[in-house]
Structure formats: structure tokens, C-alpha cells
A = this chain, B = another copy of it.
Amino acid sequence: MLDVCLLGSGGMMPLPYRYLTSLILRLNGNNILIDCGEGTQMALRKKGWSSNPIGLILFTHYHADHISGLPGLLLTMGNAERTDPVLIAGPKGLERVVRALLVIAPELPFEIEFMEFTGDTEFRFQDYRIEAFRVNHNIICYGYTIHIDRAGKFNAERAKEIGIPIRYWSHLQRGERIRTEDGAEYLPEMVMGKERKGIKLTYTTDSRPTDSIAAHAADSDLFICEGMYGEMDKVSKAREYKHMTMYEAAQIAKSAGVKRLWLTHFSPSLLDPREFMGEVRKIFPLAEPGKDGKSIELHYEEE
């Protein structure tokens, strides 16, 4: 089960009732944070989730509204006596930006590891498979697709037939190859069915609509996308500053065939996104306005 919480849903400037855009994912005690604007640690605390199991922090880009909460969050993790390293990943320039911010958080009791993307990248972190892909903002910016892969079903009948000792079963289920002392070899494909549908989440903010977003979002269980403006007359503003309207987000959701869409990264000028949902849902009926603290548990589909 993947626990998802939109910690903040604001863009550009935090408001007293709206933290800056940040998302947290929880899975098996290893959490990922995506973006960390001013107030993220307050939002996390409000949700009642600890900052300490965050092992990976992903950044879409380095505008202040997406990263200004980082020094405070790292300090709080340090104050909670974290000693495990934290991996921080994002577009090129990451280490320079983070090291500059660390001038006000100089003595952390844990290491920071950096991973900088110079193009579309796929990597694994714990039980997550992460795709980072370029989007189209006024500075280099990435979107993320997070996969929780699910192995095929284990065929116990078949394992018994082959005579694989039970002590190897869990290894094979985890995809490991076994070579026993007496020379027998057992491979996962001997006993595992076809890979089953996992969980897929896609997150993008600060971008014009792009083919890369639609392609990566395809069939996502949850697509969280910027819907900075709802007013029809703000389309040109969205174009100029390379942001997205709610309707553009809904069009992508529709063409990508996602299961649900959460809008986020609202302009401070936009007081209540619900106001525009009627129009948005004409394009994509499963659209929902994001709000601070909105969360969902995403489960594997039943067999």
C-alpha cells in the first residue's frame, strides 16, 4: 500500500491556509518527499507524519517556492537524531543550490547524497522505481512518475513439482536466483507468473502541457498536476510564465487515461479551486481539487 499526502497545494507564495506544493509518499517505512517549499515541515507535522523516514527528496526545480523549506526540514531531521544518509535528487545544479542553503544548517548529523539529472532518468530507491522526465518551464524542470512494481503470482504447485525447498521460496519471490550447494539452480521465472499491475503515480508542476507528461502519466492511478489558474482569461498568463491551467491539466489527464487527477500549485490569486471544478470536470470527470493534507491510500488491484 502506497500512502500519498499532498502536504501543500500552493504555488509561488504560501498563504496562511495553504502551504507551498509538496508531496509525500510512504511505503514500507521508506518515504519520498517531492518538493519542499517554505512550511513543508509544518504541513508534515500537521499531518502527524514524521520527517525521519524520508530517505529521498526529489526536486522538480529550484525556484524558492519548491525548495525554501529544505534547510528547516533537514535541521528538524537532525534534531530528531537521524544519522542515516538522505538522498536528494533533481535537475543539474542541485548540489550547488543545496550546499548554498546549508549555510544556515551547517552541522547536520547525517550525510547528504546527491543525484543530478542531465536528461530523462530511471532509477530505483528501496521499493520504488522512479522515472524523472523533462517538462517545459522557464528553467529546467522535471516531472516524476513513481512505480511500485508488483511481481507475478508465485506458483507453489509448480515449486513443489520441481522440488524447490521451501526455504528458497521467498528468495525466488523477490526475484533472486538460487544456486544450491549441490549444484541445483532455481530461477524466479520457473515459479513466478507474469508481472502484475503495480501502482503508478505521476507528479508534475510548473510546466506547459508536454507530450512527455502525457506519455509518463499514461494509466497512472493518481496524476497530480499543476492547475495554477482556473479563470479562463489567465491562459495567456499561464503561457507567458510557463504554467498550466486546470483545463490543460484535465486535457492531459483525459488523453493519458489516468484513474484520478488532483490539481495543485494554485496561484495565490486563486482563493478556492472548487469554484472551477464544474468546468474542469466537463473535460475530465475524475478531477479533484488538491488541498493541503489531502491523502489517499493506493492499493494493488485485486487478482
**Residues in chain A within 8 A of chain B (CB atoms):** 12-16, 37-39, 41-43, 45-46, 62-65, 67-69, 71-72, 75-76, 79, 96-97, 100-101, 103-105
Contact indicator B39/A79 (Cβ below 8 Å): no
User: Which chain B positions have C-beta within 8 A of A38?
Assistant: 38-39, 41-42, 68-69, 72
Contact indicator B79/A12 (Cβ below 8 Å): yes
Distance between Cα atoms of A75 and B68 in the complex (Å): 11
Do A64 and B68 contact each other (CB < 8 Å), given the known contacts A39-B42, A41-B14, A101-B100?
Answer: no
Distance between Cα atoms of A103 and B101 in the complex (Å): 8
Distance between Cα atoms of A184 and B250 in the complex (Å): 78
How many chain copies?
2
A269 to chain B, nearest CB (A): 11
User: Which chain B positions have C-beta within 8 A of A46?
Assistant: 16
Contact indicator A97/B103 (Cβ below 8 Å): yes
Contact indicator B79/A72 (Cβ below 8 Å): no
Contact indicator A76/B13 (Cβ below 8 Å): yes
Q: Main secondary structure on chain A at its contact with chain B?
A: helix
User: Which chain B positions have C-beta within 8 A of A13?
Assistant: 41, 72, 75-76, 79
Distance between Cα atoms of A301 and B112 in the complex (Å): 56
A182 to chain B, nearest CB (A): 58
User: Which chain B positions have C-beta within 8 A of A71?
Assistant: 64, 68
Contact indicator A72/B65 (Cβ below 8 Å): yes
Q: Can you sample 18 A-B contacts with CB below 8 Å?
A: A13-B41, A13-B75, A13-B79, A14-B41, A14-B45, A16-B42, A16-B43, A37-B72, A38-B39, A38-B41, A62-B103, A64-B75, A64-B105, A68-B69, A68-B71, A68-B104, A97-B104, A100-B100
User: Which chain B positions have C-beta within 8 A of A45?
Assistant: 14-16
Q: Which of A68, A79, A96 has the most CB of B within 10 A?
A: A68
**Contact among B12, B14, B15, B64 for A104, CB-based, below 8 A:** B64
What 3 A-B pairs come out closest when comparing CB atoms? Answer: A16-B46, A100-B103, A64-B104
